[in-house]
Amino acid sequence: MLINKDTNQCLCSHILHANTFWKRLCGLLPYKSLPEGVGMLITPCKSVHTFFMRFPIDVVYLDREMRVVALYENVPKGKTLPYHKTAYSVLELPAGTINVTGTEAGHLIKLY
């Protein structure tokens, strides 16, 4: 479970870990949708794309301390997001999660 410590909101209750070469390569491509409450944590990662995806997502870049470096809401398929040199991981969430949880740059995310 990932909680935004600044808003005390749950970003996701189930985490898909993409922490190997093959898992990072495939990412969310095999999925037809991303259910509410599910997120993919990609580590290490400094940039993502949404080519060949079937649904929009919210994207949260995190540094090594799990502090939010950058956010992108409702990213449609076919986009390349910027490289963030201070990012260590990226959290991909169902579209709308950033808004609902009030997550902003600088917020601290805690893994439970």
Q: What is the pLDDT of residues 58-85, one digit of tens each?
A: 999 999 999 999 999 999 999 999 999 9
Which band of pLDDT confidence, cut at 50, 70 and 90, is reported for residue 111? very high
Give the Cα separation of 7 and 10 in Å (integer).
9
Q: What is the pLDDT of residues 25-38, one digit of tens each?
A: 889 988 999 999 99
Q: For residue 90, what pLDDT is reported?
A: 98
Mean pLDDT of the chain: 96
Kindly list the domain boundaries of the chain, sorted by start residue.
2-111
Cα dihedral 84→88→92→93 (10° resolution): -110
pTM for the complete prediction? 0.95
What superfamily would CATH give domain 2-111?
Protein of unknown function DUF192 (2.60.120.1140)
